[in-house]
Amino acid sequence: MAGRGDPPEGTPEGFPGGEDEYRSVVFDEAFIRAAHLQEFSAQERMGEYAQAVRSRSSWEGRSGSRQAVLLVLLILLAFGTAIYLGVRNPYQPPVDERAEPLRTTVVPLAPQGPVPGGTPTQLFAHSPVAEYRTGAAGINLPIAGRTSHFAESQVVTGLSIAKDYLVASSLEPDVLSGATVRPARLLLDPDQLEQFDRSVESPSDDGRHALAGWLVRFDPRQVALAEPAARVQGTLRFEETSPDTLDVTADHTYTYALRPAAQGSGPVAAASLFTVHRVVHFRFDREDLRMHRAELLTSTVEAGPQACGPDTTGSLKPLLAGARASDAGGGPVVTDPYATARPAAPALCGALAPSAQPSL
């Protein structure tokens, strides 16, 4: 009979036999009952790699939502700050204001003797314009700087628009000859176009519709330019008159060489000088600066030699070489149109100072 722990057929061949051979690895029943199986979780089986992948807790989900809300609030705060600064920015364009009508004053200056004649070169060389510059070169921009509410670039823009208008209305040959008014008209504030057009079509001495207040134009039936380029000198000044308006004052003297319109078949008639002293007060709001246009507040013109009698609210009617004024220049005030930066003659007609005529 086989012993306890031996196979029924006895100890297999080739193996060491006997119960004593396995006594060190045999567990008794008490040990087996005390032992129990423990199955580790997936996280426990991963060991040190368990921290690489983890599920988000409910708190982390709420934290992400709070971060999103905070981001939206920051964006709204930045947007609101930008709007506030835009409203407070002194350079922000306001609503465009309606332009005021232009107020005009035209004072003819009658000569006190015969009008000197000669060639344009001689006349210019022996008159106060000998050192004046030619054409637009005589309209110089001052040194510009910022004001309380206008940037330096805006001041330069206002001065440049004023110069453009002076060139278009005082130096453009087609405007001087009466062929067109378009160059000056294109630079005006739209609110003043109706007044300008009426001044061109039906000029009148009412302080509002004198064409000479808007531009220089000679009667093409009587005179023509003996030389295309005029001689010019004067100043431009600027000042801020309100947080939304910038004013520019132009004070310039223009001298033209003129001749009779019809020469005929005889010798060429002598030329003569005609002088126009213009003081133009411009006003620019921010929309004017942006649109490159001008609003004219006041315009004062002293021009001669011409007679006091004929209406000078439209085209100017110069007296040419050798002509005399019928009233011998009996105006109450002797006026020198080359003396700038002074009040205009307080009369409907003035006497042209002898010093303003060429000394040939």
Q: What is the mean pLDDT of residues 38-58?
A: 56
pLDDT 10s digits, 133-187: 999 999 999 999 999 999 999 999 999 999 999 999 999 999 999 999 999 999 9
Q: Under 8 Å CB-to-CB from 209, ≥6 apart: which residues? A: 104, 195, 198, 199, 202, 203, 313
Pairing of strands 103-110, 295-304: parallel
Q: What's the whole-model pTM score? A: 0.72
Asked whether 276 and 107 are in contact (CB, 8 A), the reply is no
Higher local confidence (pLDDT), 151 or 344: 151
* Averaged pLDDT score across all residues of the chain: 82
pLDDT of residue 258: 96
Which residue, 257, 270, 19, 253, is CA-closest to 133?
Answer: 253
pLDDT over 80 at 23, yes or no: no
Q: Of 35-39, 67-71, 184-188, give the lowest mean pLDDT range.
A: 35-39
pLDDT over 80 at 7, yes or no: no
Higher local confidence (pLDDT), 144 or 45: 144
pLDDT of residue 32: 58
pLDDT 10s digits, 227-261: 999 999 999 999 999 999 999 999 999 999 999 98
Asked whether 286 and 244 are in contact (CB, 8 A), the reply is yes
Backbone angles phi, psi at 193, to 5 degrees: -65, -40
Q: Of 28-32, 326-330, 348-352, give the lowest mean pLDDT range.
A: 326-330
pLDDT over 50 at 329, yes or no: no
pLDDT over 50 at 334, yes or no: yes
Asked whether 212 and 249 are in contact (CB, 8 A), the reply is no
